[in-house]
Amino acid sequence: MGSKTLEDEDPGRQDAPPSNGSSTAGGEPRGNHVARDGDGCMGSDGCGEGDDDDDEAKAAAAAAALTCVVDLEVNKKKKRKRPKKKKGSAASKQSSPPRIPLDELFPSGQFGPGQLINYSTPLNTTARAKSGELRRERHVNLDDSEFLNNYRKSAEIHRQVRRWVQETVKPGHTLTEIAVGIEDGVRALLGNQGLEPGASLRSGLGFPTGLSLNNCVAHYTPNPGRTDTVLQYDDVMKVDFGVQINGWIVDSAFTMAFNPTYDNLLAAVKDATNTGIQTAGIDVRICDISAAIQETMESYEVEIRGKTYPVKPVRNLCGHDIKHYHIHGEKTVPFTRHSDETKMEEGEIFAIETFGSTGRGYTREADGIYGYGLNDDAPLRVNLALNSANRVFKTVKENFGTLVFARRYLDRLGVDRYVAGLNCLVANGILEAYAPLVDIAGSYSAQFEHTILLRESCKEVISRGEDY
């Protein structure tokens, strides 16, 4: 932003030293006085016998003067010559909006770790009941160098795209502009536009970009054909998006508010999420994590327009583990106390997130559609009565698999007249439709989330950044 690039610098425009064929500033080219004064005699009578020599001298002087003029022109041309731009030079800074593929910013192909946190209990604790071999069979090897590097690349893409959101998005932008900007940025940084069959399965969005405002707690995304929403100064917006490479998803979210009235609401939820991250670990009971989250969040309150509200954890939403090509795994991390003593295990990946609300702290489904996901038991192929359903199913299998997708992703792929086909697939239990989730009208909610890897030696908060 405003820093100079190679194209801004122009070392070729510095003044060149004078050549041997030119005089110093304010003088004249060497030899011009010879052409003017002849052979240097004091008048026409001084050398009566050298007329031929005079002609030869004048001709030589004129040639010398012409040579000097040519030398001066050449020097001027050399001054104007710009240095050639080096081919293949790596970009040093991300563009705004982010469009430079990450491989160009990191030519080594290596990406640094997220936040590394040591476990609070010894690694040789007897509570670790499963052997290393059994754990490796059940979970991916989180210390594999290729796996880690790809996951860290996804996390770096998330950081760079969300930095653009935080620096650029202001009241007056539409939610469609924001969502498309995020998703275009992710695809550009991955260097994969995802327009060919199977391309979006190799890398792309982990799920539709969530832009939930105020009492809409989660799972809202703008859809084509519906009236767009314009972001307002008094809005509280949850920004939730995922980046995946080879089906392993970085799931991270943050909240934006332009009115400082809501600062304490955001602080409560951010603190609760960080408490959950600090408490999480191998062989830690999930109920202990939930209790710590609730205690932290409920220690905050926020004053809005002269009325004080306690910040309540949302009771029917949870953090979750992440599986291959599945944003939601089998385990959940609620935000309120419970008695389930299920433990976290080595090799697992968790999205530690919390939602806080000034309302009831309980959500219900609202009208509209957030996205669709293919059910695990969906058949390999379908032959339904509605042709558009068969066509949409083929597109979903080829491009998204079990990843959740939004309607605008189908628009982008050039699929037309797909709504009836989607509804048919949902009615037949092949696709699951997800609706926006809202608290009571007039309430406000916030969300913060990070992805953590429970590696053998430490937990890595892979999506951690300087922002949150």
Binding-site positions for substrate read 219, 328
Residues in the chain: 468
Q: Do residues 217 and 204 touch, judged by C-beta distance below 8 A?
A: no
Give ∠ CA 328-330-332 in degrees, rounded to 5: 80
Give ∠ CA 218-322-421 in degrees, rounded to 5: 60
Closest CA to 72 of 35, 23, 7: 23
Q: In sequence order, which residues have a C-beta less than 8 Å from that of residue 451 and are 6 or more positions away?
A: 155, 249, 250, 251, 252, 322, 349, 350, 351, 352, 461, 462, 463
Bridge partner residues of 228 (DSSP) = none
Q: Do residues 373 and 431 touch, judged by C-beta distance below 8 A?
A: yes
Annotated binding site for a divalent metal cation: 240, 251, 320, 353, 449
Q: What does the block give as tokens for 324? A: 């291959």
Q: In sequence order, which residues have a C-beta less than 8 Å from that of residue 272 and are 6 or more positions away?
A: 293, 294, 296, 297, 313, 335, 354, 356, 448
C-alpha 255/C-alpha 273 separation (Å) is 12
Q: Do residues 202 and 208 touch, judged by C-beta distance below 8 A?
A: no
Is the C-alpha dihedral spanning 7, 8, 13, 14 positive or negative?
negative
Bridge partner residues of 343 (DSSP) = 285
Q: Report CA dihedral (103, 105, 106, 112) to the nearest 10 degrees.
A: -110
H-type alpha helices, 122-222: 132-138, 145-168, 175-190, 199-202
Q: How many CA atoms lie within 13 A of 322 on its CB side?
A: 26
Instruction: Decide: helix, strand or coil at residue 116.
Output: strand
Tracing tokens 């731009």 back to the chain, one arrives at: 85
Annotated binding site: 219, 240, 251, 320, 328, 353, 449
Q: Within 10 Å of residue 270's Cβ, how many Cβ atoms?
A: 20
Tracing tokens 């609730």 back to the chain, one arrives at: 294
Q: In sequence order, which residues have a C-beta less than 8 Å from that of residue 236 and are 6 or more positions away?
A: 213, 214, 255, 256, 257, 262, 265, 266, 444, 445, 446
**CA distance from start to end of the chain:** 22
Q: What does the block give as tokens for 42? A: 């004091």
φ, ψ for residue 13 (rounded to 5)? -95, 5
H-type alpha helices, 221-374: 263-279, 286-297
